[in-house]
Structure formats: C-alpha cells, structure tokens
C-alpha cells in the first residue's frame, strides 16, 4: 500500500498538531500526562505514514524493524533505570543522538539525491537543497560533539573547569568561515565532489568540540538548553530538504523551546547569553577567595533547629543542588511532613538555577513525593519570606546571597535571589563555610538572625527529624 503525497502531508500535519498539544499539555501537571500521550501518538503517525509513503518493504522493512527494536529496547531500559539526579546528562546524551542522526540523514540524502527529490536540472543537486543539507549536517554535527562534551562535564568524566585553548575565538571563527566556504563551493559545483560533504561534517564536528570545552560546569544548564535548540534547527533544516511539514514544524517548536529555556537560565544567573557562549566562567572548583576575614558565626545544633521550626507558624524550605548531591530530598520531605503534622505551614522556594538544568529541582522534589502545589517559583514566593518565621536553606548558597542586590562589584550582581534575609530566622544547612561556585562570601552567614547548621545535609536533616 502506498499513500498519496497529499494524504501523507495531511497526516504529517496531524502529527505536528499532536506535538503542539504535547507541549501545550505541559502548562500544568494535570494535563501533562495526556500531552505526553499525544506526543507518542504523533511520532507513531509520522513513522507509519513515512513507511507507507516511502514504500518500504521486504529487506528495508526488516532493517527498519531491527533498528527500531534495538534502539527502542536500549532507550526503554535507559528510561527506566536512569536516576533523576542524572537527568541533565541523559538529556545531553539524547541531544547528541539527535545530532548524529541529523548528520546521517544528511549524508544519506547526499548519496541518494534522486530518492529525496533534490536533483535539479542537468542531474546535479539543487543549490538550495545543498544549502539545507549542509546546514542540517553542520548543526547536527555541532550538536553531536557539543552534547558529548556537555555530557562528559555533567557526568564527571571530564572536569567542569573551563578549558581555554589559546586563540579559541579565532579557531572558532576560522572553522565557521571554512564551513561556509565549503558550503558555497558545494553549491556552485552541485555537490559533485563528496569530499566536500565529508570535510564540512568534519569541520563542524571539531567546532562543536571547541565551542563547548571553554564553558564551565556551572554554565552547563544554559549549554544543555542551547543544544536542545540546535537539535531543533538541525531537524528543521532537513525538513526543508525533505519537504516534510512535520519535521519543519517540530524543528521550529524545539528550536524556540530550547532558545527560551536558554534565555530563562541566563536570566536566572544574570549572565548574558553571549558571555556564556564565549566561555571561561564558572568552573565547579572556583578559585578560593584568599583574604577572607574570619567573622563570627552562630552555630546551632539539630535540636536548636527543631525547636525553632516546631514553634514557627511558617517555614520556607530553600533547596539547592547540594540537597540532591547529598541525597537528602527524602529526608527533607519527611521533616516537612513532621512539621506539617505539628501545624506548621511549609512551602518550598525554587530558584530558576537551583538544579543543573531547567526545572531539575522540581523533578527531584517530585520524586521525593513533595506535592507540586507546595513548590513555588522565585517570583511567586519571594514576597512571602517577610511573613515567614524560618527560611531553611539546604544545599544552596549563591541564590540567597544579598550581595547580588547590594554589591555592584560582586560577580553575581544583579542575579535574582531568594529573599531569605527577610525571614525572621535563617537556618543554613552547609557542610562548611566555603563559598558557592561563584567564589563569593555570603554576608548572610554572619547575621544575627542566621544560625549555621554545619553538617552533612542528610545527617543534619535526619537529626532534626529525631529531635522533632
């Protein structure tokens, strides 16, 4: 059975609409599950339509079935096993696969131009199609190697510290210029020389690598979002080659989604997108501040903290990535439950860059069975701190640092912060007094209303639960 091109186009549009509904569903947790289902149906429609319209049969169908079975099996196992703390790495790894797939599809089209309908007059490939193919392959290749680096940095296979090559901007500009030169040459020769295609893929593979290695581990949330965006643009470019509506629309959706997330992450850190991309900032091990004066702090015990919180009427918990590193989410939720039973009003405040990717902390709290309607974003809860008796900061530091507002010289100046200093009492659970990744001291530690709970996060919370 083969489908007419018109019917196929209609079906691709249906699948594109299903994808839009999938994203729309994410506007609230209640509708999100149905949205995800729409997405699955959408991709199913696209696959079946293509198999029918391309007239896949016999050996081809067998090969496709094998590919789907092997890939699908691997994907399903990964999806079941992956710990939620590793989501950023997983997403980076998945992006690299989309990038590589884009490169492979571009190659396939390049070597079978007739079947992809991109042959123009005189038996040569159309210049426009060659441009789309090269852009698809190039962006795909950058996404592939860039995501591999992001994966290695997030997964700890590689140091999070920025690696600065000498003259790196010059290298990147030269690579990009060479890429466009090759694209131009290929377009003018109608793609007669396959080496040009291989060469431009090679160039962009290197470019993906050199673009991402100078970016520090702390900026990875922006990088992952940006590569998300790139994978979309690569898909869109190939959508033009194939004249496929589903691919063009999906590419545009994913491209704008990733771009918006990058923007939100940059705003959350008050860093400009350009300065993130140029790199060199925010290694995991930021340079220690040498001449810090020793100032007195007020240390507290778990019993003190339990006493203060039990007598509070409103407690706001501020979790940071340190909470997840210490695997203290479940203990924290238990503590909150105990407090709620004692009649204390408990809420969670999440900074946009609390986790290692957009929305990461929300997933980690959801996994620990924290109800999502107790979890609030910065702009929704910041005014509440002045009514709170206790701000319980655990595994977070820079996102509460008042220096962002008061000290224009501070590296985090202008970054939106959670106003924990407005709460009557601030409890800081921290392993030591070391500064956060930005390498700056937090004045809040030394204030009268602050009590430092210096211990390993999970141990401290468990002790507080006992004391309650």
Partner 1 sequence: MTLAIILAGGAAVSPLVFQLAIFVLAIFVGYYVVWSVTPALHTPLMAVTNAISSVIIVGALIAVAAGTKGGSPISTWTGVIAVALCAVNIFGGFLVTQRMLAMYKKKER
What positions carry a catalytic annotation? 398
Place of tokens 């709970």: 453
Of residues 188 through 227, those in contact with partner 1 by CB under 8 A are 224-225
Our finding on whether 23 is near partner 1 (CB under 8 A) is yes
Among 5, 7, 75, 169, binds partner 1 (CB under 8 A): 75
Going by C-beta distance under 8 Å and a sequence separation of 6 or more, which residues neighbour residue 178? 203
Select from 405, 409, 412, 396 the least CA-distant residue to 364.
396
Our finding on whether 24 is near partner 1 (CB under 8 A) is yes
Our finding on whether 156 is near partner 1 (CB under 8 A) is no
The two tokens of residue 30 are 């209640």
Our finding on whether 239 is near partner 1 (CB under 8 A) is yes
Of residues 393 through 422, those in contact with partner 1 by CB under 8 A are none
Q: How far is the CB of 282 from partner 1 (least distance, A)?
A: 20
Segment lying near partner 1 (by CB under 8 A), choices 83-91, 150-158, 273-281, 386-394: 83-91
Among 3, 11, 102, 415, binds partner 1 (CB under 8 A): 102
Our finding on whether 5 is near partner 1 (CB under 8 A) is no
Our finding on whether 83 is near partner 1 (CB under 8 A) is no
Our finding on whether 145 is near partner 1 (CB under 8 A) is no
Our finding on whether 39 is near partner 1 (CB under 8 A) is yes
Segment lying near partner 1 (by CB under 8 A), choices 109-117, 154-162, 292-300, 402-410: 109-117
User: Residue 191 or residue 355: which is nearer to partner 1 going by CB?
Assistant: 355
Segment lying near partner 1 (by CB under 8 A), choices 110-118, 152-160, 291-299, 323-331: 110-118
User: Residue 67 or residue 123: which is nearer to partner 1 going by CB?
Assistant: 67
Segment lying near partner 1 (by CB under 8 A), choices 50-58, 172-180, 212-220, 292-300: 50-58
User: Mask of contacts with partner 1, 244-283, x by CB under 8 A?
Assistant: xxxxxxxxxxxxxxx-xx--x-------------------
Our finding on whether 20 is near partner 1 (CB under 8 A) is yes
Our finding on whether 56 is near partner 1 (CB under 8 A) is yes
Our finding on whether 289 is near partner 1 (CB under 8 A) is no
- Edge-to-edge strand ranges of the sheet holding 425-430: 375-377, 345-350, 314-319, 390-394, 425-430, 450-454
Size of the site for partner 1 (CB under 8 A): 118
User: Residue 15 or residue 210: which is nearer to partner 1 going by CB?
Assistant: 15
Q: Give me the sign of the Cα torsion angle 107, 39, 84, 217.
A: positive
Q: How far is the CB of 372 from partner 1 (least distance, A)?
A: 5
Q: Give me the sign of the Cα torsion angle 84, 38, 30, 350.
A: positive
Our finding on whether 240 is near partner 1 (CB under 8 A) is yes
Our finding on whether 118 is near partner 1 (CB under 8 A) is no
């Amino acid at each position: 059975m083969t489908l007419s091109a018109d019917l196929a186009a209609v079906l691709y549009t249906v699948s594109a609409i299903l994808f839009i509904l999938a994203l729309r569903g994410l506007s609230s947790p209640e509708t999100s599950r149905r949205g995800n289902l729409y997405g699955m149906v959408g991709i199913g429609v696209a696959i079946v339509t293509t198999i029918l319209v391309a007239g896949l049969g016999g050996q081809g169908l067998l090969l496709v079935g094998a590919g789907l079975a092997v890939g699908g099996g691997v994907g399903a196992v990964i999806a079941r096993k992956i710990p939620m703390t590793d989501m950023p790495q997983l997403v980076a790894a998945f992006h690299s696969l989309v990038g590589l797939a884009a490169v492979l599809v571009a190659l396939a089209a390049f070597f079978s131009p007739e079947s992809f309908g991109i042959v123009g007059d005189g038996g040569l490939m159309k210049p426009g199609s060659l441009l789309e193919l090269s852009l698809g392959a190039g962006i795909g290749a950058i996404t592939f190697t860039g995501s591999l680096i992001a994966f290695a940095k997030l997964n700890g296979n590689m140091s999070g510290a920025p690696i600065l090559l000498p003259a790196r901007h010059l290298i990147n500009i030269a690579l990009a210029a060479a890429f466009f030169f090759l694209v131009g040459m290929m377009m003018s020769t109608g793609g007669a020389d396959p080496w040009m295609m291989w060469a431009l893929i090679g160039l962009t593979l290197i470019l993906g690598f050199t673009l991402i290695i100078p970016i520090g581990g702390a900026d990875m949330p922006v990088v992952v979002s940006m590569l998300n965006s790139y994978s979309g643009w690569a898909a869109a470019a190939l959508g033009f080659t194939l004249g496929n509506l589903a691919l063009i629309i999906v590419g545009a959706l994913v491209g704008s989604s990733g771009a918006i997330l990058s923007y939100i992450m940059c705003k959350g850190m008050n860093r400009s997108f350009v300065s993130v991309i140029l790199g060199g900032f925010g290694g995991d091990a930021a340079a220690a501040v040498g001449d810090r004066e020793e100032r007195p702090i007020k240390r507290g015990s778990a019993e003190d903290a339990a006493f203060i919180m039990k007598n509070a009427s409103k407690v706001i918990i501020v979790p940071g990535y340190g909470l997840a590193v210490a695997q203290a989410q479940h203990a924290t939720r238990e503590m909150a439950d105990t407090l709620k039973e004692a009649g204390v009003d408990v809420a969670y405040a999440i900074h946009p860059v609390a986790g290692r990717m957009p929305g990461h902390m929300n997933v980690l709290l959801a996994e620990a069975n924290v109800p999502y309607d107790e979890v609030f974003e910065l702009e929704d809860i910041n005014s509440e701190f002045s009514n709170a008796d206790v701000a319980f900061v655990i595994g977070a530091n820079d996102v509460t640092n008042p220096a962002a507002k008061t000290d224009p010289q501070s590296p985090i100046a202008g970054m939106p912060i959670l106003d924990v200093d407005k709460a009557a009492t601030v409890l800081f659970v921290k392993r030591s007094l070391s500064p956060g990744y930005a390498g700056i001291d937090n004045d809040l530690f030394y204030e009268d209303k602050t009590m430092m709970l210096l211990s390993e996060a999970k141990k401290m919370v468990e002790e507080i639960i006992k004391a309650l």
